[in-house]
């Protein structure tokens, strides 16, 4: 569990990192006129402004001082270079701030804000990737059906490919692609991106209050239960359809919150 100081540093780092990108998104939109990414660039700037609003609300909910300074970022000179710069920056922010805060924030109001802002962050990365692929003239594959309801979440780790992810979960690459129509290029996935894994059987968790936890290297269900001060049985009941003897780094599981009993 993070200390109060660690949570403060994460929130302040997120605030500074996102604020300094606003001017870069503004420059992106200026250069987008006449390109095939004008619609995406417009949405990207709006999403960034909404994220800034969300982070301000998060800092207020956590009662953190938001008076931290930040360094201005010099935008790359070309439209394509800005796209690549922003994709790298946003992926780093997702990994280093959003995913870590997701593990440490327990206040219900703050958690709602984190979830909302994280969804916007993922949307930004997908829009940036879509534009990069289009500019590189990589045709998108034919549309796939909507993801199945029975699925689990997996957070892409450094070195992952869709083929390796499929093999680890006993699936074919085609099954992974059918469950993830948002992936327009199977060769281009990024650390921190969420991939849906179709589950053979994935009933809903029992009623109660839960938080999400991203499995780390070396984790076991027993160690995770001990980390959060709950029993192994409680953790297993909160994750029906998850093999307690087979969890992988990057997999997202439910952890019963202290205020919400399970079972």
Q: How many whole angstroms separate alpha carbon 148 and alpha carbon 200?
A: 11
CATH number of the structural domain 4-135: 1.20.1260.10
Q: Which has the higher per-residue pLDDT, 187 or 13?
A: 13
Predicted pLDDT of residue 203: 46
Strand 151-155 relative to strand 210-214: parallel, antiparallel, unpaired?
Answer: unpaired
Q: How many whole angstroms separate alpha carbon 219 and alpha carbon 250?
A: 10
Strand 151-155 relative to strand 252-256: parallel, antiparallel, unpaired?
Answer: unpaired
Q: How many whole angstroms separate alpha carbon 112 and alpha carbon 133?
A: 32
**Mean pLDDT of the 32-41 span:** 91
User: Mapping DSSP to helix (H, G, I), strand (E, B) and coil, where does residue 153 land?
Assistant: strand
**Mean pLDDT of the 110-116 span:** 86
Q: Evaluate whether 4-135 and 151-198 have a shared fold.
A: no
Residue 210's pLDDT band (cuts 50, 70, 90) = confident
Phi and psi, residue 256, nearest 5°: -55, 135
User: Mapping DSSP to helix (H, G, I), strand (E, B) and coil, where does residue 4 land?
Assistant: helix
Predicted pLDDT of residue 202: 42
The matching CATH number, chosen from 3.40.50.720, 3.30.70.1520, 3.30.465.10, 3.10.350.10, for 210-256 is 3.10.350.10
DSSP 258: T
Class of domain 151-198: alpha beta
**Max mean pLDDT range (42-46, 70-74, 112-116, 180-184):** 42-46
Provide the residue ranges of all domains of the chain, joining segments of one domain with +.
4-135, 151-198, 210-256
Can you say how many angstroms the Cα of residue 114 is from the centroid of all Cα atoms in its chain?
10
Whole-structure pTM value? 0.53
Tokens of residue 16, six digits: 């500074």
User: pLDDT at residue 28 above 50?
Assistant: yes
User: Mapping DSSP to helix (H, G, I), strand (E, B) and coil, where does residue 169 land?
Assistant: coil
């Amino acid at each position: 569990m993070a200390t109060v100081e660690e949570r403060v540093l994460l929130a302040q780092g997120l605030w500074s990192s996102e604020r300094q990108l606003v001017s870069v998104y503004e420059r992106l939109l200026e250069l987008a006129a006449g390109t095939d990414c004008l619609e995406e660039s417009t949405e990207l700037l709006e999403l960034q402004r909404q994220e800034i609003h969300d982070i301000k609300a998060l800092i207020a909910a956590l009662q953190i001082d938001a008076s931290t300074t930040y360094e201005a970022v010099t935008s790359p000179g070309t439209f394509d270079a800005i796209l690549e710069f922003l994709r790298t920056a946003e992926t780093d922010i997702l990994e280093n701030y959003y995913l870590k805060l997701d593990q440490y924030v327990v206040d219900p109001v703050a958690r709602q804000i984190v979830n909302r802002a994280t969804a916007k962050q993922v949307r930004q990365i997908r829009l940036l990737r879509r534009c990069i692929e289009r500019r590189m003239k990589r045709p998108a594959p034919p549309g796939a059906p909507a993801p199945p309801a029975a699925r689990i979440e997996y957070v892409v780790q450094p070195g992952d490919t869709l083929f390796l992810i499929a093999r680890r979960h006993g699936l074919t690459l085609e099954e992974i692609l059918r469950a993830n129509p948002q992936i327009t290029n199977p060769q281009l996935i990024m650390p921190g991106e969420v991939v849906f894994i179709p589950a053979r059987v994935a009933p809903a968790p029992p009623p109660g209050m839960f938080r999400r936890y991203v499995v780390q290297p070396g984790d076991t269900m027993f160690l995770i239960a001990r980390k959060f001060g709950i029993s192994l049985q409680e953790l297993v009941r909160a994750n029906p359809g998850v093999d307690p003897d087979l969890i992988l780094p990057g997999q997202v599981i439910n952890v019963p919150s202290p205020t919400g009993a399970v079972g």
